[in-house]
Structure 1
Amino acid sequence: MSQPSMINRYKWYELIGIYAGILLFLTFVLAPFVEGFLVSLKPLSQLFSSPYRFIPENGSFAAYRTMWTSVPGFGWYIFNSFLISGVSTIIVLILVVPAAYAFARFEFRGSGLLLGAFLAVNMFSGAVLLIPLFRLMRSFGVLNTYFAMIIPGVAFLIPSGIWLLRTYMMRIPKELDEAAFVDGASHFYTLRRVILPIAMPGITVVAITTFIGSYAQQFIYALTFNSKTEYMPLPVGLFAYFGRQEVVWNELMAASFVGIAPALVVIFFLQRYLVSGLTAGAVKQ
């Protein structure tokens, strides 16, 4: 007789409690996004009507058409956000992959202290370091450039990337490295031809979290280190639009959803790599 699955061992009231908790959690997480999307569909006259209507009456996508002219340079703001996030992600991966491999495979003096220092970096808020970072960016002469937003973002995202990828690489059997060394492979060759194919799901996780982190933290750095419109990312561009005397809320919500849509598309196509190739190449010739 086959053993019943673990889910079947729950009683009916326990299952109700589990699914009710999941539903409550999703409600709190998704409710702001649902409300924001509905606001973007409502005519401006309904936003402050009493009693308040959750479901829009005569809703339309008119705000999605008019916001392109209401927010000057909106398309350029999206391009800047993707450029900053994309370049930051590439730089982080180039630095994190060999560093995580070194921490996962080699034992050297001070490695634990160095990892602790990396973790401590993430405990500092970016706002606390704005003045030192501003002086540093000014001394480098990179204020009002893309680098003024890329460099601080990379510095704060590298430690978490090392921790994530190091943990993943430690799960890869060391016997694979030893077999490669017996065949005369160097550490770099082993990393490139043996470890990287297996660690690709972990690298994808780091890439996604880095891209999201860079996309999310652009506001504070761009607002402090940049004053030129041509380098302005989407969060600051929307903030400038929000700072007008009259806020057109439906167009602002429409611009926000259009701005995050490309990032969601990128993440959607990358996430499929998370569940494939966990041990790809481990037993292939």
Structure 2
Amino acid sequence: MIDRYHWLELVGIYIGIALFLFFILAPFIEGFLVSLKPLGLLFSTPYSFWPKNGSFDAYFSMWQSVPMLGLYIFNSFFISTIITIVVILVVVPAAYAFARFPFAGAGMLLGGFLAVNMFSGAVLLIPLFRLMRTLGLLNTYWAMIVPGAAFLIPSSIWLLRTYLMRIPRELDEAAWVDGASRLYTLRRVILPLAMPGIVVISIMTFIGAYAQQFIFALTFNSKSEFMPLPIGLFAFFGKQEVVWNELMAASFVGILPVMIVIVFLQRYLVAGLTAGAVKQ
């Protein structure tokens, strides 16, 4: 028999869930309400949480305030997509190698991957700038794609390696007995089983790439046609004031591509997060 919760325990559980959701969603709710308020009423006293005379005017006027905002959103989506593709192409074979083939120096390499993630992008801006200039990548999409992928690959290798280690080695050995090559085994045997984990890594990489573009774009790019969304949002910060309602409206419109990707892939995300939780 499954133990049933006492009603007091259920009340405590739901109160805990409600508090958790409140602290998670409150900033988003407040940001959305700010986008509905007229700019002159944002700092009125007493402060009103619910917008009086609220409207969606900021969602229309923001396009006039920053005419290239649509291009910035496209650039962010494009850069994040390319970074995700590059990371997956590198991470899948690398994680498979670390998970299946022990070799000298593997532990040192994995430790080095963790060490790379300890460095902030700001610390490496000067050497990265010199590298981008030497390679002729300044003022191009690749100036943001290359360092973006480099910072996301190490953690992705660690995560996918752990996932692949849960897949029984006997599957590889059975494929080899049947005459399959290592590459064929990876492509036809391991990848279908690892797809939930790969989807999780892809989503995390896409979100990470979408969030880290500001400092790289500001340092390695000076052309407006290649600027990502964070630079477009920075344009709402004027010398005298910040257009908060349009800034919030642009932020919500800018995260729509990420939300669409997450909603579309959420069932794969849940499958990947729960895979391996039950011992077969």
Using structure 1 for the length normalisation, give the TM-score: 0.92
TM-fit CA distance, 1:123: 1.0
TM-fit CA distance, 1:243: 3.7
Give the match for residue 39 of structure 1: 34
4+ runs deviating over 6 angstroms: none
- The DSSP-based 3-state class of the residue aligned with 1:242 is coil
Give the match for residue 2 of structure 2: 4
TM-fit CA distance, 1:11: 4.4
For residues 28-47 of structure 1, the C-alpha deviation after alignment (integer angstroms, 9 at most, x for no partner) is 22111110000011122221
Alignment of 1:236-275 (within 5 A): 236-275=231-270
Q: Which ranges of structure 1 fall in alignment gaps of 5 or more residues? A: 280-285
Give the match for residue 154 of structure 1: 149
Aligned partners of 2:240, 2:127: CA distance in 1, in Å? 33
Q: Contact conserved, 2:139 with 2:226, CA < 8 A, in 1?
A: yes
Give the match for residue 207 of structure 2: 212
Give the match for residue 19 of structure 1: 14
The answer on 1:140 being equivalent to 2:138 is: no
The answer on 1:77 being equivalent to 2:72 is: yes
The answer on 1:120 being equivalent to 2:118 is: no
Of 101, 112, 115, the residue aligned with 1:106 is 101
Which AA in structure 1 matches 2:115?
Answer: A
Aligned partners of 1:60, 1:241: CA distance in 2, in Å? 19
Which AA in structure 2 matches 1:242?
Answer: F
Aligned partners of 2:125, 2:11: CA distance in 1, in Å? 48
Aligned partners of 2:58, 2:49: CA distance in 1, in Å? 17
Aligned partners of 1:242, 1:150: CA distance in 2, in Å? 26
Q: Percent identity?
A: 74
TM-fit CA distance, 1:244: 4.2
Which AA in structure 1 matches 2:185?
Answer: T
Aligned partners of 2:38, 2:152: CA distance in 1, in Å? 40
TM-fit CA distance, 1:249: 1.3
Q: Contact conserved, 2:236 with 2:246, CA < 8 A, in 1?
A: no
- The DSSP-based 3-state class of the residue aligned with 1:255 is helix
Aligned partners of 1:67, 1:116: CA distance in 2, in Å? 46
Aligned partners of 1:172, 1:57: CA distance in 2, in Å? 56
Give the match for residue 170 of structure 2: 175
- The DSSP-based 3-state class of the residue aligned with 1:133 is helix
Which AA in structure 2 matches 1:114?
Answer: L
Aligned partners of 1:15, 1:276: CA distance in 2, in Å? 27
Which AA in structure 1 matches 2:2?
Answer: P
Q: Contact conserved, 2:236 with 2:243, CA < 8 A, in 1?
A: no
Aligned partners of 1:32, 1:176: CA distance in 2, in Å? 47
Give the match for residue 131 of structure 1: 126
Q: Which ranges of structure 2 fall in alignment gaps of 5 or more residues? A: none
Compared with structure 1, are the counterparts of its residues 275 and 48 closer, same or farther at alpha carbon in structure 2 (3 Å cutoff)?
closer
TM-fit CA distance, 1:62: 1.2
For residues 227-262 of structure 1, the C-alpha deviation after alignment (integer angstroms, 9 at most, x for no partner) is 110100000111123244332211111111001112
Using structure 2 for the length normalisation, give the TM-score: 0.93
- The DSSP-based 3-state class of the residue aligned with 2:47 is coil
Q: Contact conserved, 2:66 with 2:235, CA < 8 A, in 1?
A: no
TM-fit CA distance, 1:275: 4.1
Aligned partners of 1:242, 1:13: CA distance in 2, in Å? 49
Aligned partners of 1:226, 1:71: CA distance in 2, in Å? 18
Bigger drift between 196-205 and 126-135 goes to 126-135
Of 79, 90, 95, the residue aligned with 2:90 is 95
For these two proteins, the number of residue pairs brought into alignment is 274
Alignment of 1:58-77 (within 5 A): 58-77=53-72
Which AA in structure 2 matches 1:171?
Answer: R
TM-fit CA distance, 1:13: 3.9
Q: State the Cα RMSD in Å.
A: 1.6
Bigger drift between 253-262 and 12-21 goes to 12-21
Which AA in structure 2 matches 1:132?
Answer: P
TM-fit CA distance, 1:144: 1.0
Which AA in structure 1 matches 2:48?
Answer: R
Aligned partners of 1:59, 1:69: CA distance in 2, in Å? 20
